[in-house]
Amino acid sequence: MLTYIVRRLLIIVPMAIGISFLVYLALDLSPGDAVSRMLSPERTVDPAKLAELRKALGLDAPLLVRFWIWFSGVLQGNFGRTLTGGVPISRILMERLPATLELSVIALVLSSIFGAILGTISALRRRGTTTDNVLTVAGMIGVSIPEFFFGLVAIVVFALNLQWLPVGGRLLPSYTSYWDHIPNLVMPALVLSIMMTAGVMRYARSAMLDALSREFIKTARSKGLPEWRVNLLHGFRVALTPVIVLIGFRLPILIGGSVIVEQVFQWPGLGSLFVMAVRNKDLPVVMTIALLTVILVLVVSLIVDILTAIIDPRVRLGN
């Protein structure tokens, strides 16, 4: 297994470079550049001055040169500066990453725990029972309702009507300690968690039903093992494998993907930054977030493989 892990870790480097280059290439091929996005369409600007700005920002250099300048900077720990405002990207990451991580990690943990438990309960109660029906309908509603709608309803109920929680934002001038903003975190984290729980629950239910229909479950039962042992140690353990894959790959997506929840709750995370950077064609910002996501996906992929091998004895790494 160790050889496998080392080999996979070594593969991450060229894969990250390759994927980064492809992302850079794709972005570069889209029309316009950061300078053209800085301009209002309703205003014409002296083309000579725009050419000077492009030159000053290094946008006039060939694609490979620009990519190398960015990538060599990253190798030295320098992510560069935003093209639009000249802000060091490392500073933006320091400001935004904590906001994203606290939202993502809470949502991931809560949705994984509750999703796996509820999905398993739903499967064990068998089709047609009230519990299964209620959980199935709840799951369908959870995956069907758009996040923005769910978020807005939560704001109307808990912030505007009941006034239990703040309407949005993460920080206020009056906050002096880290814990002050926890009330701000509750709604976005719960909305994101509930939406994600529904997905995990549906997946866990299917995986559990599939596992329970396998021959080894019948064998376990025929050995006279207690039902809870059959279900949890044999069924749930195997059912967990696809659920882990789902959960594992949600973290990297969450890093740049909780855009809607961030928007609705005015949460200053990486998702909204990423969308804005794409719109502004601010390549250093887009590339930095993309690189982080790529590395995270590759690392998570490795972790998922290892966990799968540990949980499911049928899986052998490296073979």
Q: Which chain residues interact with another protein by CB under 8 A?
A: 30-33, 36, 38-46, 49-50, 52-53, 56-57, 81-87, 92, 95-96, 99, 155, 159-160, 166-173, 263, 266, 268, 272-273, 276
Residue 102's contacts (CB-CB under 8 Å, 6 or more residues apart) are 185, 189
Least Å distance, CB 43 to another protein, is 5
State the Cα–Cα distance between residues 266 and 286, nearest whole angstrom.
20
C-alpha 287: how far from chain center: 16
H or E element at residue 146: none
Least Å distance, CB 110 to another protein, is 24
Cα dist from 159 to 107, 223, 231, 268, 269, whole Å: 20, 55, 42, 19, 21
Q: Which is nearer to another protein, 96 or 234 (CB)?
A: 96
Question: Are 202 and 146 spatial neighbours (Cβ–Cβ below 8 Å)?
Answer: no
Q: Which is nearer to another protein, 231 or 280 (CB)?
A: 280
Query: What DSSP state is assigned to residue 258?
Result: -
Location of structure tokens 């290892």: 306
Least Å distance, CB 70 to another protein, is 16
Least Å distance, CB 64 to another protein, is 22
Least Å distance, CB 145 to another protein, is 19
Least Å distance, CB 293 to another protein, is 19
Amino acid at site 144 = S
Tokens (6 digits) for 84: 């639009």
State the Cα–Cα distance between residues 89 and 303, nearest whole angstrom.
28
Least Å distance, CB 158 to another protein, is 11
Tokens (6 digits) for 86: 């000249």
Q: Which is nearer to another protein, 92 or 294 (CB)?
A: 92
Q: Which is nearer to another protein, 235 or 271 (CB)?
A: 271
Q: Which is nearer to another protein, 168 or 242 (CB)?
A: 168
Q: Which is nearer to another protein, 84 or 136 (CB)?
A: 84
Smallest CA-to-CA distance from 115 within 139, 91, 79, 131 is with 139
Least Å distance, CB 103 to another protein, is 13
Question: Are 143 and 202 spatial neighbours (Cβ–Cβ below 8 Å)?
Answer: yes
State the Cα–Cα distance between residues 303 and 249, nearest whole angstrom.
10
State the Cα–Cα distance between residues 28 and 69, nearest whole angstrom.
15
Q: Which is nearer to another protein, 89 or 198 (CB)?
A: 89
* Beta-bridge partners for 88: 81
Q: Which is nearer to another protein, 33 or 305 (CB)?
A: 33
Residue 150's contacts (CB-CB under 8 Å, 6 or more residues apart) are 191, 194, 195
